[in-house]
Amino acid sequence: MGKLLINQNKLNDKVIKELIDICPFKALEESDGKLEINAGCKMCKLCVKKGPKGVVEYVEEQVKSIDKSKWRGIAVYVDHVCGNIHPVTLELIGKARELASKINHPIYAIFIGNNIKESAKELLHYGVDQVFVYDNEELKDFRIEPYTKAFEDFINKVKPCSVLVGATTIGRSLAPRVAARFRTGLTADCTVLDMKENTDLVQIRPAFGGNIMAQIITPNRRPQFCTVRYKIMNAPERTEEVKGKITLCEVNKEDLKSNIEVLDVTEKEKEVSISEADVIIVAGRGIKTEKDMAMINELADLLGAQVAGTRPLIEMGWVDAKRQIGLSGRTVKPKLIITCGLSGSVQFVAGMNNSDHIFAINKDPNASIFNVAHYGIVGDLYEVIPKLINNIKNNIALV
């Protein structure tokens, strides 16, 4: 990384105007005869290349190297509400085991809350070597400041090389704050994780609207942070065997002070989420009118399935926004997913390609959904779905 240096002594009104005109992002501003760079700078370096020679310079910053051997272990943040552990935690432990085996590091879990010691023991059935428990009354409800403090304490004491956090509402607010405390990198919503021999975590996620898969590493900082959505990784099987240990940790009570006072906690009515569904029927733009959704709903009812949609159907208001699958929607991993009249855009597929059985209906044999489908019918959904419904009702096999 580098930075821009403005040699203010080489400026005059003409040069300032020239440079301001060169910058396509309006990132150069004049203030009291000086030139300043604002947050709009995209580092395109046009001011360096096209501006008067030597006025704006690009200077490479010296990167301090770190001793990576001092950072050991893959840590998983235990996402929970009142001690009820979110299943994404187990999925991340599964991934942490795989990554740790490549570099021969231990697997840690950091569990912050109140009255959580019993729940912490459960994690030892999933292959965690050490669970660090911060059990304190001040940590009863999630509040960002004390949770950050406990997390910070854990990192300072344990020095894990990588930290995996579930991309839940809590994880998405906590992880960046803790990462910022250590001035280290965080990659959000990773879909693939790998580990290099030198302990650099390869964080892979869709970028530029899902058109490329970016591989991101944090070579000069530790720890390395990433968040991963629920249902992306596989949870390991629970074993009866327990190998690891629980370590109780203390933080100074003063440090756990918060400006947030939790007055009451009301449990939300349980919604049936498509993320939990075993069978999903997805409607795509091949559905011509809203009333044709009745056909999709009937098929879903017969199969005990949840209905979901692609983004255009959500935008048309035919399917609830919580039922959008894909990059900007939910990630699902059902036993069976039937896609009806959708093309299989990269943004959609990113949210469902780990499903156990993918069954696609599309009239275009070249539709990209067939590249990921395990079974497919090339045909008009207005003919295929009614037949399917009829066959299910009459208990007739599909083939």
Ligand X SMILES: Cc1cc2nc3c(=O)[nH]c(=O)nc-3n(C[C@H](O)[C@H](O)[C@H](O)COP(=O)(O)OP(=O)(O)OC[C@H]3O[C@@H](n4cnc5c(N)ncnc54)[C@H](O)[C@@H]3O)c2cc1C
Interacting residues with ligand SF4 (CB under 6 A): 4, 22-23, 25, 27-28, 37, 41-47
Q: Which is nearer to ligand X, 22 or 293 (CB)?
A: 293
Q: Tell me if 184 sits within 8 A of 165, measured CB to CB.
A: no
Q: How far is the CB of 296 from ligand X (least distance, A)?
A: 12
Closest listed residue to residue 1, CA positions, set 86, 60, 71 = 60
Among ligand X, ligand SF4, none, residue 42 binds (CB under 5-8 Å by kind): ligand SF4
Q: Which is nearer to ligand SF4, 46 or 242 (CB)?
A: 46
Q: How far is the CB of 380 from ligand X (least distance, A)?
A: 4
Judged by CB under 6 A, the residue of 209, 212, 238, 315 near ligand X is 209
Judged by CB under 6 A, the residue of 108, 348, 359, 370 near ligand X is 348
What does DSSP assign to residue 75?
E
Q: Which is nearer to ligand X, 297 or 347 (CB)?
A: 347
Run of H or E including 313: helix 311-315
For every residue of 76-124, DSSP letters joined together read EE--EETTEE-HHHHHHHHHHHHHHHHHT--EEEEEEESS-HHHHHHHG
CA–CA distance, 310 with 329 (Å, rounded to integer): 9
The answer to whether 328 contacts ligand X (rule: CB under 6 A) is yes
Estimate the crossing angle of helix 381-393 against helix 293-303, to 10 degrees.
Answer: 30
Q: How far is the CB of 9 from ligand X (least distance, A)?
A: 45
Closest listed residue to residue 356, CA positions, set 335, 387, 327 = 335
Total residues binding ligand X (CB under 6 A): 29
Among ligand X, ligand SF4, none, residue 251 binds (CB under 5-8 Å by kind): none
The residue of the chain with the least Cβ separation from ligand X equals 326
Run of H or E including 283: strand 279-283
Binding site for ligand X (CB under 6 A): 209-210, 284-286, 310-312, 324-329, 341-343, 345, 347-348, 351, 361-364, 367, 380-382
